[in-house]
Chain A
Amino acid sequence: MLLWLLVILLAASLAGGVNRVIGSGGGWALALFPSGVFACLMKQGPLVLNQQNLSSSIEWVPALNLAISMRLDGLSLIFGLLITGIGALVLIYAGAYLNGDDRLGRLWMFLLLFMAAMLGLVLADNLLTLFIFWELTSITSYLLIGFNSERSESRASALQALLVTGGGGLVLLPGLILLGGVGESFEISTLLENSEQIRQHAFYVPILIMILVGAFTKSAQFPFHFWLPNAMAAPTPISAYLHSATMVKAGIYLIARLHPILGGTAEWFWMIAPVGTITMILGAAMALRATDLKQILAYATISVLGTLTMLLGIGTEATLIAALVILVAHAFYKGGLFMVAGAIDHAIHQRDVRELGGLRLTMPATFAAALLGGISMAGVMPTFGFIAKETWYEAVGGDVAGIGFLAASVLSNIGLVAAVGLVCIKPFFGSRTDATQAAHEGSLAMWGPPVALGTTGLALGLMSTQFSGLLTAGSSAIAGSVVPVNLALWHGVNVTLLLSLLTLAGGLTLFAQRHRLEGVFKSADRFIQYGPAWGYGWLLKSVTQFARWQTAILQNGYLRFYLLTMVGLTVFSVWMALSGEVRSHLKPMPLDFRIHELLLAGLILVAAVVAVRAKTWLLAVGSLGVVGYSVAGIFVLFGAPDLAMTQFVIETLTVILFVMAFSRLPDFRRLTSAGTRARDAVIAVVAGATITVLLLFAMTVRTDHPISDYYTTNSVSQAHGRNVVNVILVDFRALDTLGEITVLSIAAIGVYSLLMLRPPKRIALGNEANNVANSSCPISTQSED
């Protein structure tokens, strides 16, 4: 299964080249990669339908129970098919949408990277692996939403999406870790067996809350719903993929995946179902208020996501099945409708529904796609959307609470039907407007994918019986036990059908009478401006202000202040820790020095005094070099040749670098007052004394065997090396070294950009550079003085 991810990543690495060599038609070529994975998934289908789950696992860090383990069950299979199948169509569509744009390769790459992250997420069987892919979807969607990076609006939306979903991810992580701890495993398949123990644990509620915050932010549930419509700043192919078909469903996926582990309790119901219901109603209402095609669709998505959450929260077998069926139906029609919106936008650069009309003759294929998607979204017979709605209505209802949910469902669906009118009827019928005069049909790659998605929606409706096996496997994975699904197009005349008809009639009436809603929305606007989006804006502004305030205090650009803080804090904390114990542990050192040791010590002292009193920088640097060399000499005397050698070389290089840097400074002058120097001297003496005491203390308090024993005994046998220092560096603690050389490399990039990439002098005098310096880098302004 890891191989499937690698195939997609390979395609991502090829995307740029494909755009250069083939151009926009390359979408067809790139689509082959996800199609291949799609075929592989299909091939696993029969196995999964027999409830035999495919799994694979690679040990990553066994000591931390980290494994990249993957498992394909019904739920992952359905998601995987949607991700790769719709993904392939989106790649083709994107080629037509950004035809001739040299950023197309980048778009393809981001889409494929996102696809890989999403696929990894649904295949992961380890909570931590799942989390890594979860965050990868956040990061890749940040890149996608901010694709038009030259527009500040795009960047703000991308940042908003990242902060909300990433913030949710930060809450999710401790939840997952706690869950792993309580369930005694990070493998989801193992946790399934321990679910009883988890549900009864004292940490059950905290775990549930943390995981739900993650899921709700990702799936744009109230009150975190506001980022999703803003994410429409992304080009339409991205919206079609990310924000309708897959990404926002990650949260839904997580809730569904964890249902057999955490679900079935009163807490589960009360924390999830109400949130979903509010989101469902809110999304439908906001969809009617919007006038931008993509915004309408985005709010409609929020409504459906709310529905899914509500159904998963109710958590009966019937509602779980309904959630899965709606999820699949939604993926097909919403992906298609977004592409329709994009095709219209691409043809006439207008998405405001009030400006659209009469497009059915000039864009017949797009119109067909819109109709196919629309009837499924509205739940008209015989589409899959119809079946979804029937299953949904049938699943809720029953007791008193159920009737409440049913009423809310019908209400939100009436809103959605009216939204279908706005998207699929308004732009295509009526007379042409100024904006639609120049409309023309796009290429096959533009209308083919939405027509394909719409047709699939229709075909699934007609052949729903054949599709039941896969849905059974999927809903069994959500329920945690085998739940047979029997879909049928015709249930006979019953309450559900009547409700369906009521929904349609109500929706169409609402669409026809929509001008009456304007007054309602106007009065609601006054409240909405203080909604969660306002809260987000306030929070962001406050954080920035706080950051600016504390930066001005803590990072004022004076190096001496930084040093003072660091040294002062170190001295303070050392004394805080040692104050009581020092006297009892400090013993006088035996004074059996040898003569050459005393000579070295004397040399260090003399050199240090010379360095402090030096009148030229060369003398100061030179004497510091003498100090370093003498310390290295002490290392030699006490049997640490490695350390000594490194110290010698470092000291040499330090002197060289100092000379290079100082030779550019003006004459060696005293710039500080006598008082400041006295203060510095006191600090230096105190700090030096502290470190001395600390070292003496460290030598006397050792109680356990030194760890060096372990290394000396195992160095040759395990790492085939006799030099323990080097063996530690390259073998026993190689991960540390790897981290260190990475840090070194980053430091080199820092130095390089500080010294080599400065703007030329003449610009530095201008206004522009001053602004930059003031806002981001106080150090550079100081160094100019």
Chain B
Amino acid sequence: MDSVILKTAIRFLMPLILLSSVFLFLRGHNEPGGGFVGGLMASGAIALYAITHSAAAARQVVRVPHRILIGSGLLMSLCSGLLPLLLGRPFLTGMWTTITTTGFGKIHLGTPLLFDLGVFCVVTGVTLVFVFSLLEE
């Protein structure tokens, strides 16, 4: 699409949308958000960029090939399930730990976060496959 306004706007908007997708992802456990919607939003941003610029340019932005994105996402979710198994708990049991940092105070980390990150990656990767396949066909 050859609209200069749209092109320029997207170039500035995309990082913002990506940032907010990360924000959505991180707050998901306590507020509306999460890996699924975060991943969708991220891929939406990249899809807009791919339409206004080109699929090749968008691939440059993502850097990671989408099959790796999907594969590693699945692997992360699976690992978050296997981890408790290794410690003798049932598959996919949520396990939590708290890290105290100087800058951010206490941070709760748990396997659900890893799981959600996996979802994020898979959703982004899958949507990008759709988008790129359609654009490059």
**A residues within 8 Å of B by Cβ?**
59-63, 641-642, 645-646, 649-650, 652-653, 656-657, 659-661, 664, 718-723, 725-727, 729-731, 734-735, 737-738, 741-742, 744-745, 747-748, 751-752, 755-756
Take A649-B44, A722-B30, A747-B126 as given contacts and tell me if A734 and B74 are in contact as well, using a CB distance cutoff of 8 Å.
no
Q: 27 A–B contact pairs at CB < 8 A?
A: A59-B90, A61-B90, A61-B91, A641-B32, A642-B37, A649-B44, A656-B48, A657-B131, A659-B51, A718-B94, A720-B29, A723-B29, A723-B33, A729-B35, A729-B119, A730-B116, A734-B92, A735-B91, A741-B73, A741-B74, A741-B122, A744-B122, A745-B122, A748-B125, A748-B129, A748-B130, A755-B133
B43 cross-chain contacts in A, Cβ below 8 A:
653
Within B21-44, the residues touching A (CB, 8 Å) are 24, 28-37, 40-41, 43-44
Q: What is the total of A-B residue contacts with beta carbons within 8 Å?
A: 141
B116 touches A726 (CB 8 A): yes
A749 to B: closest C-beta gap in Å = 8
A748 cross-chain contacts in B, Cβ below 8 A:
66, 70, 125-126, 129-130
Complex CA distance for A734 and B35, rounded to whole angstroms: 12
A744 cross-chain contacts in B, Cβ below 8 A:
122-123, 126
B53 to A: closest C-beta gap in Å = 14
Complex CA distance for A661 and B132, rounded to whole angstroms: 11
A111 to B: closest C-beta gap in Å = 27
Within B1-55, the residues touching A (CB, 8 Å) are 24, 28-37, 40-41, 43-44, 47-48, 51
A653 cross-chain contacts in B, Cβ below 8 A:
40, 43-44, 47, 127
Complex CA distance for A657 and B135, rounded to whole angstroms: 9
B36 cross-chain contacts in A, Cβ below 8 A:
646, 729
B137 cross-chain contacts in A, Cβ below 8 A:
664, 755-756
B92 touches A719 (CB 8 A): no
A646 touches B37 (CB 8 A): yes
B81 touches A734 (CB 8 A): yes
Nearest B residue to A649, CB-CB: B40
A756 touches B133 (CB 8 A): yes
Complex CA distance for A668 and B111, rounded to whole angstroms: 50
Take A656-B47, A744-B122, A756-B137 as given contacts and tell me if A725 and B131 are in contact as well, using a CB distance cutoff of 8 Å.
no
A60 to B: closest C-beta gap in Å = 7
Complex CA distance for A660 and B50, rounded to whole angstroms: 11
Complex partner residue of A735 from B34, B47, B92, B133, CB under 8 angstroms: B92
A755 cross-chain contacts in B, Cβ below 8 A:
133-134, 137
Complex partner residue of B34 from A718, A719, A723, A747, CB under 8 angstroms: A723
Nearest B residue to A756, CB-CB: B133
B116 cross-chain contacts in A, Cβ below 8 A:
726, 729-730
Interface centre among B37, B40, B137 (most CB of A within 10 A): B37
Complex CA distance for A176 and B115, rounded to whole angstroms: 34
Complex CA distance for A725 and B35, rounded to whole angstroms: 12
A726 touches B29 (CB 8 A): yes
Chain B 103-137 interface 0/1 with A at a Cβ cutoff of 8 Å (1 = within)? 00000101010011011001101110111011111
Complex CA distance for A88 and B99, rounded to whole angstroms: 49
Interface of A is mostly: helix
Complex CA distance for A659 and B126, rounded to whole angstroms: 18
Take A741-B122, A744-B122 as given contacts and tell me if A752 and B112 are in contact as well, using a CB distance cutoff of 8 Å.
no
Complex CA distance for A679 and B90, rounded to whole angstroms: 53
B44 touches A656 (CB 8 A): yes
B122 cross-chain contacts in A, Cβ below 8 A:
741, 744-745
Nearest A residue to B115, CB-CB: A730
Take A660-B51, A660-B131, A756-B137 as given contacts and tell me if A730 and B126 are in contact as well, using a CB distance cutoff of 8 Å.
no
A592 to B: closest C-beta gap in Å = 27
Complex CA distance for A744 and B43, rounded to whole angstroms: 14
Interface of B is mostly: helix
A660 touches B44 (CB 8 A): no
Complex partner residue of B130 from A645, A664, A745, A751, CB under 8 angstroms: A751
A735 cross-chain contacts in B, Cβ below 8 A:
81, 91-92
Nearest A residue to B71, CB-CB: A745
A734 cross-chain contacts in B, Cβ below 8 A:
81, 92, 94, 112, 115
Complex CA distance for A285 and B88, rounded to whole angstroms: 55
Known A-B contacts: A659-B51, A722-B31, A735-B91. Give 14 more (CB < 8 A): A650-B40, A653-B40, A657-B131, A721-B30, A723-B33, A725-B34, A730-B116, A741-B77, A741-B119, A741-B122, A745-B74, A745-B122, A748-B66, A756-B137
Interface centre among A645, A649, A659, A755 (most CB of B within 10 A): A649
For the complex, count residues of B whose C-beta is within 8 A of A.
51
B115 cross-chain contacts in A, Cβ below 8 A:
730, 734, 737-738
Q: Is the CB of B83 closer than 8 A to any CB of chain A? A: no
A745 touches B70 (CB 8 A): yes
Nearest B residue to A757, CB-CB: B133
A722 cross-chain contacts in B, Cβ below 8 A:
29-31
B70 to A: closest C-beta gap in Å = 5
A731 touches B51 (CB 8 A): no
B28 cross-chain contacts in A, Cβ below 8 A:
723, 726
Complex CA distance for A248 and B57, rounded to whole angstroms: 57
Take A720-B29, A748-B126, A756-B137 as given contacts and tell me if A738 and B81 are in contact as well, using a CB distance cutoff of 8 Å.
yes
B35 cross-chain contacts in A, Cβ below 8 A:
729-730
Complex partner residue of A652 from B34, B44, B74, B135, CB under 8 angstroms: B44
A747 cross-chain contacts in B, Cβ below 8 A:
126
Complex partner residue of B96 from A63, A664, A720, CB under 8 angstroms: A720
B118 touches A741 (CB 8 A): yes
Nearest A residue to B43, CB-CB: A653
A720 touches B131 (CB 8 A): no
Complex CA distance for A745 and B91, rounded to whole angstroms: 21
B33 touches A721 (CB 8 A): no
A659 cross-chain contacts in B, Cβ below 8 A:
51
B77 cross-chain contacts in A, Cβ below 8 A:
737-738, 741
A733 to B: closest C-beta gap in Å = 10
A742 cross-chain contacts in B, Cβ below 8 A:
74
A721 cross-chain contacts in B, Cβ below 8 A:
29-30, 112
A642 cross-chain contacts in B, Cβ below 8 A:
32-34, 37
Complex CA distance for A642 and B70, rounded to whole angstroms: 23
A649 cross-chain contacts in B, Cβ below 8 A:
37, 40-41, 44
Complex CA distance for A719 and B34, rounded to whole angstroms: 14
Nearest A residue to B122, CB-CB: A741
Complex CA distance for A62 and B89, rounded to whole angstroms: 10
B97 to A: closest C-beta gap in Å = 11
Nearest B residue to A758, CB-CB: B137
A751 touches B40 (CB 8 A): no
Nearest A residue to B112, CB-CB: A730
Complex CA distance for A59 and B115, rounded to whole angstroms: 21
Complex CA distance for A14 and B130, rounded to whole angstroms: 35
B37 touches A738 (CB 8 A): no
Nearest A residue to B77, CB-CB: A738
Chain B 57-76 interface 0/1 with A at a Cβ cutoff of 8 Å (1 = within)? 00000000010001001100
A657 touches B40 (CB 8 A): no
Nearest B residue to A658, CB-CB: B134
Nearest B residue to A659, CB-CB: B51
B42 to A: closest C-beta gap in Å = 10
Interface centre among A62, A642, A744 (most CB of B within 10 A): A744
A751 cross-chain contacts in B, Cβ below 8 A:
129-130, 133
Nearest A residue to B128, CB-CB: A748
Complex CA distance for A762 and B92, rounded to whole angstroms: 50
Nearest B residue to A656, CB-CB: B47
Complex CA distance for A748 and B131, rounded to whole angstroms: 10
B44 cross-chain contacts in A, Cβ below 8 A:
649, 652-653, 656
Complex partner residue of B31 from A59, A661, A723, CB under 8 angstroms: A723
B74 cross-chain contacts in A, Cβ below 8 A:
741-742, 745
A745 to B: closest C-beta gap in Å = 5
